């Protein structure tokens, strides 16, 4: 497990792998855009937003495992054996995913996806595309639990390395499709699913071969441990669903209000600023498990020192975002070879969105690490209720178009931007004054 002495090296590797992954994803966009065309790419971007919802279908079990396993690995005499935690998590998640795959797999056939995505001219069977994507992702979903195991081992850089392999496989497969001179969205969906399954399956084998003492087995499954993981996970799940509504509905709203072509503009602009967001997140993500471990050891001072370093890093990231906004148009022209019709208002607002997102990322990692789930749920639920109607009002009633959708999301994010730091500092101060945990506070 990483210690403070090699944390910097781990963060550096995480940022390096994330940078390579981002580079591959940037190369992927023009390749798949040229292959599918503007209309089908907009549909695919919206489908990916829907597919991202699947990552929340573990009912928070993955995050529950991450926190519990971090504590177990950091303790000399843990309350629950690490192998029991891992085995119980895999067992309950498999049951949950099997149930969801059965119910939702049938439900997909009943949805009019052409109307929902406003994609009447796609020329392919959207029900078939969604069925393949959903069931395929469910197959690899249990394998993705290895992410949380790597996080608990404080090896977040390996998660980013997985993304490099996934992007590389996907890029190679789509490039091969371009040789057929077709624009088959179904084929893109199939290859997306296969790339996920191959990469997560391979890294799942690796982590448990190298860490046999925590490898899952049926005989180590404990119903009580599974119940505890499910209870903690359910709280994370509620917060995740609220975050889902906040961060993944913009494409769906834009597609319905303005058509898939506008999704292409919006999602491409978002993709550019996601570069700096992802690099920053790669550095900050280890903060979650490190906070959990430091708190388990009673080292509140170390948590505050690490937080201070992250806030300094945020200052550089914010300055980099401002520079990216200034250079946006020439960079995109170099990247895509054409202008999709980006307005300066959208560019500047997307930059502001990126800055707020990174600010919130710091505090959410601390809050998750301290297991302050109840507070996080209350804030997230407020944001979930406000976001969609606010985005629609700005986009339509105020006549701001796709910029209005983004403005609604930005204003909603400001709720956590203010409340997270205040609550975190109060919680850390309480921890210094009083002994004991505060997962229930």
Give domain status of residue 440, yes or no. no
CA angle 365, 368, 369 (to 5 degrees): 80
3-class DSSP assignment, residue 301:
helix
Confidence of residue 437 (pLDDT cuts 50, 70, 90): very low
Name the least confident of 81-90, 126-135, 349-358: 126-135
Question: Average pLDDT, stretch 235-241?
Answer: 77
CB contact set of 8 (below 8 Å; sequence gap of 6+) = none
Give domain status of residue 107, yes or no. yes
Examine the pLDDT at 439 and tell me if it is beyond 60.
no
Domain hosting residue 163, numbered range: 4-433
pLDDT digits (tens, 9 = 90+) for 350-406: 999 999 999 999 998 888 888 787 888 889 889 888 888 998 999 888 878 888 888
Query: Is the distance from CB of 360 to CB of 221 less than 8 angstroms?
Result: no
Q: How many helices (H) and strands (E) does the chain have?
A: 17, 0
Question: Average pLDDT, stretch 246-271?
Answer: 79
Structure tokens at 426: 């109060």
Predicted local distance difference test score (pLDDT) of residue 350 = 92
Give domain status of residue 91, yes or no. yes
Examine the pLDDT at 319 and tell me if it is beyond 90.
yes
Examine the pLDDT at 328 and tell me if it is beyond 70.
yes
Higher-scoring residue by pLDDT: 108, 331: 331
The CA-to-CA distance between both ends of the chain, in Å, stands at 29
Please state, rounded to an integer, the average pLDDT across all residues of the chain: 82
User: What is residue 394's DSSP assignment?
Assistant: I
Structure tokens at 185: 């969205």
Confidence of residue 1 (pLDDT cuts 50, 70, 90): very low
Question: What percentage of residues in the chain have a pLDDT greater than 70?
Answer: 91
Examine the pLDDT at 2 and tell me if it is beyond 50.
no
Give domain status of residue 73, yes or no. yes
CA dihedral for 423, 429, 432, 436, sign (positive or negative): negative
Nearest to 376 by CA among 433, 424, 426, 411: 424
Query: Is the distance from CB of 374 to CB of 296 less than 8 angstroms?
Result: no
pLDDT digits (tens, 9 = 90+) for 131-184: 887 888 787 778 888 988 998 888 878 888 988 898 898 888 888 888 876 777
Question: Any idea how long the chain is?
Answer: 441
d(CA 398, CA 376): 31
Confidence of residue 242 (pLDDT cuts 50, 70, 90): confident
CB atoms within 10 A of CB 236: 24
d(CA 438, CA 419): 18
**For residue 332, what are the CA distances in angstroms to 27, 342, 345, 423?**
12, 10, 16, 39
d(CA 412, CA 382): 9
Give domain status of residue 17, yes or no. yes
Give domain status of residue 202, yes or no. yes
Predicted local distance difference test score (pLDDT) of residue 359 = 95
Predicted local distance difference test score (pLDDT) of residue 322 = 94
Give domain status of residue 438, yes or no. no
Please tell me the total count of domains within the chain.
1
Give domain status of residue 300, yes or no. yes
Nearest to 187 by CA among 50, 40, 53: 40
Structure tokens at 127: 């029900």
Q: What is the residue-wise DSSP string for 185-238?
A: HHHHHHHHHHHHHHHHHHHHHHHHHH-GGG---GGG--HHHHHHHHHHHHHHHH
pLDDT digits (tens, 9 = 90+) for 24-81: 887 888 888 888 887 787 777 777 777 666 666 666 788 788 888 888 887 776 677 8
Higher-scoring residue by pLDDT: 438, 330: 330
Query: Is the distance from CB of 379 to CB of 386 less than 8 angstroms?
Result: no
């Amino acid at each position: 497990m990483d210690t403070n002495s090699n944390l910097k090296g781990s963060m550096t590797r995480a940022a390096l792998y994330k940078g390579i992954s981002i580079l591959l994803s940037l190369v992927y966009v023009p390749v798949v855009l040229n292959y599918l065309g503007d209309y089908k790419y907009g549909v695919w971007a919206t489908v990916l937003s829907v597919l991202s919802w699947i990552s929340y279908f573990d009912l928070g079990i993955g995050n529950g495992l991450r926190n519990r396993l971090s504590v177990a690995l950091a303790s000399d005499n843990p309350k629950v054996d690490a192998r029991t935690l891992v085995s119980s998590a895999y067992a309950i998640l498999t049951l949950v995913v099997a149930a969801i795959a059965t119910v939702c797999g049938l439900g997909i056939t009943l949805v009019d996806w052409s109307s929902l995505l406003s994609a009447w001219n796609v020329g392919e069977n959207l029900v078939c595309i969604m069925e393949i994507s959903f069931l395929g992702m469910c197959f690899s979903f249990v394998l993705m639990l290895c992410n949380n195991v790597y996080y608990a081992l404080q090896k977040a850089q390996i998660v980013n390395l997985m993304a490099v392999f996934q992007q590389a496989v996907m890029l190679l497969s789509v490039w091969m499709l371009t040789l057929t001179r077709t624009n088959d969205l179904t084929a893109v969906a199939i290859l997306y699913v296969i790339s996920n399954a191959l990469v997560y399956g391979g890294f799942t084998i690796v982590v448990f071969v190298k860490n046999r003492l925590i490898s899952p087995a049926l005989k180590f499954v404990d119903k009580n441990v599974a119940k505890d993981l499910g209870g903690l996970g359910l709280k994370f799940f509620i917060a995740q669903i609220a975050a889902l509504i906040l961060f993944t509905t913009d494409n769906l709203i834009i597609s319905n209000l303005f058509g898939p072509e506008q999704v292409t503009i919006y999602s491409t602009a978002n993709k550019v600023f996601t570069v700096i967001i992802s690099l920053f997140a790669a550095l900050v993500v280890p903060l979650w498990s490190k906070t959990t471990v430091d708190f388990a050891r009673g080292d509140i001072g170390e948590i505050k020192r690490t937080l201070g370093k992250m806030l300094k890093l945020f200052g550089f990231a914010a300055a980099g975002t401002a520079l990216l906004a200034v250079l946006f148009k020439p960079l995109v022209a170099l990247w895509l070879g054409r202008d999709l019709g980006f307005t300066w208002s959208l560019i500047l607002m997307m930059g502001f969105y990126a800055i707020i997102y990174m600010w919130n990322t710091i505090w959410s990692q601390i809050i998750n690490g301290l297991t302050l789930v109840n507070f996080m749920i209350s804030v997230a639920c407020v944001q979930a209720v406000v976001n969609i109607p606010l985005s629609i009002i700005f986009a339509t009633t105020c006549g701001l178009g796709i910029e209005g959708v983004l403005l609604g999301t930005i204003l909603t994010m400001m709720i956590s931007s203010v409340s997270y730091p205040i609550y975190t500092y109060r919680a850390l101060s309480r921890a210094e004054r009083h002994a004991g945990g505060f997962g229930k506070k």
